[in-house]
Amino acid sequence: MNDNLLLPSDPGSMADYKRIYDQAAQLAKIGAWECDLKNERLTWTDGVYDLFELPRGSTLHRASIVDMYCDDSRRQMQRLRARAINAQGSFVLDASIRTSGGKCRWMRLSAQAVHRHGRPLRIFGAKQDITHEKDLWDSLKHLAERDCLTGLANRRVFEACCNDLGRRALDDGSITALALIDLDHFKAINDQFGHSAGDECLRQFATRLSRVFDDAILICRLGGDEFAILLHAPLGRAQLEYIIERSRRLLCGPVSWQNAQIDIGASIGVTLLKRALFQGPEQAFAEADSALYLAKHTGRNTVRVFNESVEGVRFPRPLQKVPG
């Protein structure tokens, strides 16, 4: 039996309290720290040394420790630290670090600044290893945001991205076009070859989308045989139509299934997102959907870009009713 886990013979002594704290801190992978703001001298408990994979009790240099933070986390930590020191405040930050052994870890950093007579005296807090928690959260987030069949972003992510569309995004050119894609005669594929073949067509088509539109802002499966892309594109309508048509040809090769070659085609509707004309995500979706409707009803396996002549061809589907 581990001697450290034996019950104390004299409950209530300082040694007992320290032993109990050390046991709990080790179990929670947490440690306490303090920094003297006069000389930047750091003091750590064992849990923080273990988190950074440094020898317990070794001499600490704050500049070297700060260098172990990953870039984004370092910038956030320095900004929050300066604000807390200036205002005698506190903060909590989930930060990524690289240990002395080269491991990437996530830690939850909490801090509180202390002043004396109006001057900053010290800052202290706790650091906890949350790498496992972060991995679990990332896995859950991936499951919540990804289509389980194709691995693309799902409809929920698409709707969130569309709702974030605003004039600033259009001004900086981060998003300039929305394309909706529908596989042609997909029901016939399922009827003739079975749903497993249809699923394979969707998977391979998704892979082609990711390869052909490798610089897209977002590629997602809306549901069924429908996909959506938010992309950078030339501002000219003719240029956009040329690029999308060329991409369509690359997307529409046959899919191998068992001993069969399954031909797949795709109809694509596109709308340009221009600041001066942008009226919100609902309108953008309606425009691309009208163009898609026209593509499917003028021969299929083709591309149509929205313009005034397309408007009114179809009563567009609301964004929130995209099939799931």
Task: Let me know: does 272 contact 240? Beta carbons within 8 Å.
Answer: yes
Domain segments of the chain: what residues?
Answer: 3-135, 146-321
Please tell me the class of the 146-321 domain.
alpha beta
User: pLDDT for 132-143, tens place per residue?
Assistant: 999 998 888 888
Residue pLDDT, tens place only, 157-203? 998 887 776 555 555 555 678 999 999 999 999 999 999 999 999 99
Instruction: State which amino acid sits at residue 116.
Output: R
Does this model's pTM top 0.75? My answer is no
Taking the C-alpha atoms of residue 86 and residue 63, their distance in angstroms, rounded to an integer, is: 20
CA gyration radius for the chain?
Answer: 28
The pLDDT tens digits for 6-61 are 445 555 678 888 788 788 888 888 999 999 999 999 999 999 999 999 999 999 99
Q: What is the pLDDT of residues 269-321, one digit of tens each?
A: 998 876 555 567 788 889 999 999 999 988 888 899 888 554 444 444 545 44
Q: How many CA atoms lie within 13 A of 117 on its CB side?
A: 0
**Phi and psi based region of residue 117 (left: phi greater than 0; alpha: psi -120 to 50; beta: remaining):** left
Are 267 and 300 in contact, with CB atoms under 8 Å apart? yes
Q: Residues 222-249: pLDDT tens digits?
A: 999 999 999 876 667 778 888 888 899 9
**Amino acid (one-letter) located at 299:** G
* Lookup: tokens for 201: 């067509």
Architecture in CATH of 3-135:
2-Layer Sandwich (3.30)
